[in-house]
Amino acid sequence: MNYRMNLNSKRGWIELITGCMFAGKTEEFIKRLNRYKHAQQNVLVFKPLIDTRYSKENVFSHSGMRIESVTVKDSEEIYKIFKEQNAKQKIDIIGIDEVQFLDANVVDIISKIADEGVIAIVNGLDKDFKNNPFKNVDRLLIEAEYVDKLSAICHSCGGNASRTQRIIDGNPAKANEPIIVISANEKYEARCRHCYIKPE
């Protein structure tokens, strides 16, 4: 990322890592945060309470990478914990995993924290299983200074995948299914434009 080469850049911005499921978003998120940790930066990582797939205390990637995190129920709690920790020792970087699972106010909170000179690294799905924009990520695409959109490999044909197919009993989920269902790979597949089946 060439923004690090600009010495006039003031500290405090938003980096969004997005794409479909199995694109390596969480792996990139953890890798980036760990790089800052190794450089002795004070890093504070949050994950939504709803996401208990692998661990309550850590953010885990599908490949097994992990980073310690604080579980939060909403954006208000993120800001409260950030202010408390920042008062003890200045926070340099915050990370927020699976931002689409948090309330809509989280985008304003992330922006507020970035305004205070903190680098905010945020990870989330760009589209739901119906191929519609996911809440929070749609706004962050506009708000973030830097966006990395990652693709996966299509489970059906091996091409580049940009969509997430929810599978229930071996068939694509119907359109009336709830948007958020927490699960691992047994209920989701990455699909390309041509193999993706629009829920009806």
28 close to 19: Cβ distance less than 8 angstroms: no
Residue 181 placed within a domain: no
Per-residue pLDDT, 39:
92
Residue 119 placed within a domain: yes
Residue 85 placed within a domain: yes
User: Tens of pLDDT along the chain (200 residues)?
Assistant: 555 556 677 889 999 999 999 999 999 999 999 999 999 999 999 999 876 555 566 665 566 667 788 999 999 999 999 999 999 999 999 999 999 999 999 999 999 999 999 999 999 999 999 999 999 999 999 999 999 999 999 999 999 999 999 998 888 989 988 887 765 545 889 999 999 999 98
Q: What is the CATH number of the domain that holds 112?
A: 3.40.50.300
| Crossing angle between the packed helical segments 106-115 and 75-88, to the nearest 10 degrees | 20
Residue 157 placed within a domain: no
Residue 182 placed within a domain: no
Per-residue pLDDT, 59:
65
Residue 191 placed within a domain: no
Per-residue pLDDT, 99:
96
Residue 50 placed within a domain: yes
DSSP run (H or E) holding 25: helix 25-38
Active site residues: 98
Residue 13 placed within a domain: yes
Q: Which two tokens stand for residue 69?
A: 């995190």
- What are the beta bridge partners of residue 45? 95
Range of the domain at 19: 2-151
Per-residue pLDDT, 185:
43
In angstroms, the CA 130 to CA 144 distance is: 24
119 close to 1: Cβ distance less than 8 angstroms: no
Q: How many domains does the chain have?
A: 1
Nearest CA to 33 out of 22, 19, 44 is that of 44
